[in-house]
Structure 1
Amino acid sequence: MDGIARNKGGASPGTGKGREVMGECEDGKEYRCWEELLPDALGLIFRNLPLQEVLTVLPRVCKSWGRVVAGPYCWQEIDIEEWSQQQSKPEQIGRMVELLVGRSGGSCRRISVSGLPCDPLFSFIADNARALGTLEIPRSEISDSVVEAVAPRLSNVTFLDISSCTKIGARALEAFGRHCRSLVGLRRVMHPIDLADKVCQHDEAHAIARSMPRLRHLEMGYMLVATEAVLEILGQCRELKFLDLRGCWAVDDRFLRERHPGLRVLGPRVVDDCYENSYWEECSDYYSDEDYDDVVSWGLFVDDDDYYYAVGSDDDEAIWDDAQGLENLEVRFYGGGGFGESFAGFDWPPSP
């Protein structure tokens, strides 16, 4: 977010009466001070910034921004999938999920995180984010038993991504379908390596057909299913509009197209992979192990008092109690460098 925010004269924020809401630019036009925007509006803006900047830079700009970041306004949608793919320590993912879900105050509508490391963390999400409509947890280490236990608390989920979750199977799928009655989208894409010790997944196809009749969008790339299993799904999920079968080599897609001409079928013979390489695999040619540690080391900020902004702490009050307040304050934001937008916030240029 490039730009300059200035406050010329007037009372400093937080003093209540006499607070200056409007300012004047050099060309004589008025503008509204950034710190005076409604928290909801600031939250919408901050969601467009990289995660690192939201957590470690914005809270240091001013107290009002710190309160927005510490509250639920920025965390109604939690998308840390790219960040989580870079983490080598599962506990870092756990601490980040607990931090952000806790800040959402139960208002989170979407969570996207790769590699949940354990069942208790999945239970924590279900207990503290019951308004979830979209749940994307690919490559997670969750079990059938925990899904059966917590699925009743995820009844508002309409889209579910459990790709490459190798420890769950038909039991978990049936639990999701039985309790998430509004589920219209399912992504269960596997990697061929995930299926090295499996013969087939017809039981999972049967669970989908039996418990998810309202599906409209289904991705089941590289699952070990045959034409008969897919026909069972189509027979029960009559509202299905899109079916991704890339890599399902035992399925006769021509037969499916003849039987269901209105259905959009992708695959099974498509050159492009429907499973994604991890973010780190794509960048491994550019970084050594030492560089990687530097890139993600900021993730340890949760336990570092120098990085964590505690609203109302004595140190923070001392910073803002000086005589100048926000008078003549000039704040500049610099875009990230590196290899592209994906690295924004990880390789900042020095301030002039």
Structure 2
Amino acid sequence: MASSSSGDGYLSSKKRSSASRSYSPVGQLRNWLELPREVTASIFSLLVATEILKTIRFVCKSWFDICKDPLVWRKIYMYNNGEGVLNMDLDRICREAVNRSCGNLVYVNVEYFGNDGLLKYITNRCGRIKRLRLACCYYLSVEGLIEAIAKLPLLEELDLLLCSFSVVPLEAVGRYCPRLRSLKLNRQCEEWLLDGNAEAIVIAKHMPEIRHLQILGNSMTNMGLQAILDGCPHLESLDLRQCFSLDLEGKLGERCTEQIKYLRLPHESTDDFEFRVCHDD
């Protein structure tokens, strides 16, 4: 799955294997057990939670003890890799990881599983989350997402990737998350023709402090884009790829170029996007 090699810091098994065989400048085998405890805990925090709980902690007693450290669980990466792991097992593992964080969780990533009950469990116990990333979470409801968002006043980054939600949760984000600076909102391909101006208007009205916006595959027109540019004066980066209802040949396109420091246009390639999207025209 694409997330396993994303820029969020996940270390692949190949890289870990290579690292374990690395040598010091004097040609001696590096003993990973000699690393300071806090350094090892920081490294473990970059791994997928299922790997830590099912493999890493059983390597030795020292690592078993380190895996109890809440520092390891400040970031939780969880995804269904399609290898036959049941969603109920992933749910259980994720809850255990949350418990181990002791409320110190700041970043949670859930892909291809999860439901309202799991999200409620996470947010009830961890109110200091700064980044929430939900990808292909088809069993989450609008009501469940709103209830969770209301408990995250420190949220700075929100990614809703290929999830089916209306504009209502976006209004809740604006109401409950005044620190939000980054929003990624990507539709499923079959939803591309839905009215995107409603989302653009909500973003413009309720998220004036946002700095980074990815709204890939949206059907908003120039009216929606105009609202975003007017309502979000601090916007630095804007990803409009596959927003094919936009016409940026005139003054609106010129304004985007002048106002936005990092701009991605509708017909630019989506090859670097980690999930399958509609084909470029």
What TM-score results when the alignment is normalised by the length of structure 1?
0.64
The 2-side partners of 1:224 and 1:175 are apart by 22
For 1:178 and 1:87, locate their aligned partners in 2 and report how far apart those are by CA, in whole Å: 39
Q: CA deviation at 1:274?
A: 6.3
* Matching residue of 2:14: none
Task: Identify the match of residue 133 of structure 2 among 129, 133, 136.
Answer: 136
2:170 to 148, 170, 173: 173
Aligned length: 249
Q: Distance in 2 between matches of 1:32 and 1:90?
A: 37
Q: 2:211 is matched with which residue?
A: 216
Give the residue type in structure 2 aligned to 1:84. N
Is the 1:157–1:180 contact (alpha carbons within 8 Å) kept by the matching residues of 2? yes
After superposition, the Cα gap between the structure-2 partners of 1:36 and 1:252, relative to the gap in structure 1 and judged at 3 Å, is closer
1:130–1:52 CA distance, 2 compared to 1 (3 A)? closer
Letter in 2 for 1:64: S
Distance 1:272 1:35, change over 3 A: closer
Q: Larger relative contact order (C-alpha < 8 A, sep ≥ 6)?
A: 1
In the superposition, relative to structure 1, how do residues 128 and 102 fare at CA in structure 2: closer, same or farther (>3 Å)? same
- Give the distance between the partners of 1:48 and 1:199, measured in 2 at CA: 37
Match of 2:72 in 1: 74
Query: Of residues 154, 161, 164 in structure 2, which corresponds to 1:163?
Result: 161
Residue 132 of structure 1, CA deviation = 0.8
Alpha-carbon contact 1:147-1:176 (below 8 Å) kept: no
Contact 2:45 2:74 in 1 (8 A): no
Distance 1:137 1:209 in 2: 22
- Counterpart for residue 86 of structure 1: 82
Q: How do residues 174-193 of structure 1 correspond to structure 2 at under 5 angstroms?
A: 174-193=171-190
What's the offset of the Cα at 1:103? 1.1
Aligned partner of 1:258: which letter? E
Q: Which has the larger radius of gyration?
A: 1
* Alpha-carbon spacing, 1:268–1:34, altered in 2? closer, same or farther (3 Å): same
Pairing 1:191-206 to 2, within 5 Å after superposition: 191-193=188-190, 195=191, 199-206=194-201
Out of 235, 241, 244, the position equivalent to 2:236 is 241
Asked if 1:257 corresponds to 2:253, the answer is yes
State the shift of 1:217 in Å: 0.6
Match of 1:173, as an amino acid? Answer: L
Which residue does the alignment assign to 1:37?
Answer: 36
Cα RMSD, aligned residues only: 2.7
TM-superposed deviation, 1:204:
1.5
Once the two structures are superposed, residues 59-80 of structure 1 have per-residue CA deviations (whole angstroms, 9 ceiling, x without a partner) of 3343332121133121111123
| Partner residue, 2:9 | none
Q: Using the aligned pairs only, state the percent identity.
A: 25
C-alpha distance after superposition, 1:122-165 (max 9, x if no partner): 11111122111111112123222223323221111101001211
1:125 aligns with: 122
Bigger mean CA deviation after superposition, 60-69 or 231-240: 60-69
CA 64–119 in structure 1, closer or farther in 2 if over 3 Å, else same: same
Shift of 1:51: 5.1
CA distance in 1, matches of 2:244, 2:167: 21
1:229 is matched with which residue? 224
1:153 alignment partner, SS class:
coil
Per the alignment, residue 5 of structure 2 pairs with: none
Structure 2 CA distance for aligned equivalents of residues 244 and 217 of structure 1: 9
Cα deviation for residue 102 of structure 1 reads: 1.4
Provide the C-alpha distance between the structure 2 equivalents of 1:67 and 1:259, rounded to a whole number of angstroms.
Answer: 55
Structure-2 separation of matches of 1:119 and 1:229: 30
Gaps of 5+ in 1: 5-26, 279-352
In the TM superposition, residue 117 of structure 1 has moved relative to its aligned partner by 2.9
Q: Residue 251 of structure 1: CA displacement? A: 0.8
Q: Deviation at 1:273? A: 4.6
Asked whether 1:99 is paired with 2:78, we answer no
Q: Residue 162 of structure 1 aligns to a residue in which SS?
A: strand
1:207 match: 202
Confirm or deny: 8 A CA contact 1:189 1:274 kept in the other structure: no
Residues 72 and 66 of structure 1: CA distance in aligned 2, closer, same or farther (over 3 Å): same
Report if aligned partners of 1:116, 1:137 keep a CA contact under 8 Å in 2: no
